[in-house]
């Protein structure tokens, strides 16, 4: 319709170019760009026409410099390809977009230094806030390095409570899991997946809930029913559980630290000729795709990922809005999803 190459050819079109074309000031253009209410209709039309003609789009970077707001959030997690984190990232991404943010994903890749970098404001000036699930750093250390950027932590919270946290009640969830299994007639319930040197608090909490429930029910247990592994990989799980079986450890139910170990359990039990759930009930944790797609479909403890995402964003927006009080905790709901790997013995 008109000359697209007028003005500074080869350059991006700027607010000023639009203003010039429309014969108005930059402020007026800015007003219509921002849908500022008090702009006369014909002014708005004229400016919009210029914008369309030139194909103007604001330079986000410049806007940021001027406003001091980046509109971006960082999500720092160990590995994006671990199903749980991938699913969480999706929810957080959705929730963030809903609130007008974009998210940059930071993989710490099991590197303690990478985690520290996140906390030491590596993101400073890049993002408005950070959602961080640490694997190595504890609350103490995070408190010490306490960054200037608003921060919300995911996962377990030790003391002191200097930062906001969102988590599920691991103890209660484990307790309920054991109660469910007990209610279905299981009597020798093992906990599978204490990883040697596990830096996370979660596993301990889960084990605690498991033990509490057993104790409360007056069911006898023993240390051999807590099955330890050398690492987080599936092969570690397979090796550990096979060894336990070979050593004569017997159980009719398995509460697994996560879905991955549950998958390992399915493998080992299959090889051992044990039926699931006929001989052994298997319960996973995290309710990931692994659980939904396996055969038999895995029952799993499902942390409310949407709720976690929503709560994290709420807390973060508070902080970004200036809230500067003490660290708050939010407990997201959880639910046990029963699929095919749990049930009464047959």
Partner DNA sequence: CTGAAAGCGCTAACAA
Partner DNA sequence: TTGTTAGCGCTTTCAG
Query: Which residues contribute to the site for a second copy (CB under 8 A)?
Result: 12, 57-62, 64-65, 70, 72, 79-81, 83, 86-87, 89-90, 93-94, 97, 102-107, 109, 121, 124-126, 148, 234, 260, 263-264, 266-267, 270, 289-290, 292-297
* Alpha helices, H only, 131-281: 139-145, 170-183, 202-217, 234-246, 259-271
Cβ within 8 Å of residue 293, ≥6 positions away: none
Measured from the CB atom, is 5 or 67 closer to DNA? Answer: 67
Q: Residue 321 interacts with DNA (CB under 7 A)?
A: no
CA distance 201 to 88: 19
Smallest distance, DNA to C-beta of residue 71, A: 11
CB under 7 A: which stretch of 24-32, 100-108, 242-250, 322-330 binds DNA?
A: 24-32
- 63 sits near DNA (criterion: CB under 7 A): yes
Residue among 6, 55, 65, 159 that touches DNA (CB under 7 A) = 65
Q: What single-letter DSSP state applies at residue 248? A: T
Peptide bond before 57: cis, by omega within 30 degrees of 0? Answer: no
Q: How far is the CB of 147 from DNA (least distance, A)?
A: 17
CA dihedral 138, 144, 145, 147 (to 10 degrees): 100
Q: Does 12 bind DNA (CB under 7 A)?
A: yes
Q: What contacts 321, CB < 8 A, 6 or more positions away?
A: none
**Could you tell me the smallest distance in angstroms from the CB atom of residue 78 to DNA?**
30
**Minimum distance from CB of 165 to a second copy (Å)?**
23
Nearer to DNA, 60 or 216 (CB): 60
110 near DNA, judged by CB under 7 A: no
DSSP-assigned letter for residue 223: G
> How far is it, in rounded angstroms, from Cα 23 to Cα 21?
5
Nearest distance from residue 318's CB to DNA, in Å?
A: 20
Q: Say how many C-beta atoms besides its own lie within 10 A of residue 165's C-beta.
A: 22
66 binds DNA (CB under 7 A): yes
Please check whether residue 152 is in contact with residue 130, taking contact to mean a CB–CB distance below 8 angstroms: yes
Of 62 and 216, which has the nearer Cβ to a second copy?
62
């Amino acid at each position: 319709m008109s000359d697209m190459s007028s003005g500074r050819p080869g350059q991006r079109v700027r607010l000023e170019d639009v203003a010039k074309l429309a014969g108005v000031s930059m402020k007026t253009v800015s007003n219509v760009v921002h849908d500022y209410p008090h702009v006369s209709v014909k002014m708005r039309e004229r400016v919009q026409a210029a914008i369309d003609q030139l194909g103007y789009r604001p330079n986000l970077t410049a806007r940021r410099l001027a406003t001091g707001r980046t509109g971006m959030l960082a999500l720092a997690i160990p590995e994006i390809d671990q199903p749980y984190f991938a699913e969480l990232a999706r929810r957080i991404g959705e929730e963030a977009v809903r609130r007008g943010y974009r998210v940059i994903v930071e993989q710490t890749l099991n590197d303690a230094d990478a985690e520290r970098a996140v906390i030491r404001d590596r993101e400073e000036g890049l993002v408005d806030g950070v959602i961080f699930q640490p694997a190595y750093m504890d609350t103490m250390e995070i408190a010490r390095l306490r960054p200037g950027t608003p921060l919300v932590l995911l996962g377990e919270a030790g003391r002191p409570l200097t930062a906001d946290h969102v988590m599920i009640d691991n103890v209660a969830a484990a307790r309920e899991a054991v109660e469910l299994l007990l209610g279905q007639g299981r009597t020798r319930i093992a906990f599978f997946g204490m990883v040697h040197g596990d830096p996370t608090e979660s596993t301990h909490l889960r084990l605690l809930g498991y033990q509490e429930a057993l104790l409360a029910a007056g069911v006898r247990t023993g240390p051999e029913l807590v099955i330890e592994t050398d690492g987080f990989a599936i092969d570690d799980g397979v090796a550990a559980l096979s060894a336990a079986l070979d050593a004569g450890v017997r159980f009719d139910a398995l509460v697994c630290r996560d879905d991955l170990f549950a998958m390992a359990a399915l493998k080992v039990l299959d090889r051992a000729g044990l039926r699931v759930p006929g001989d052994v009930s298997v319960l996973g944790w995290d309710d990931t795709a692994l659980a939904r797609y396996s055969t038999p479909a895995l029952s799993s403890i499902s942390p409310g990922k949407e709720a976690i995402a929503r709560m994290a964003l709420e807390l973060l927006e508070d902080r970004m809005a200036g809230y500067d009080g003490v660290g708050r905790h939010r407990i997201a709901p959880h639910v046990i999803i029963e699929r095919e790997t749990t049930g009464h013995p047959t």
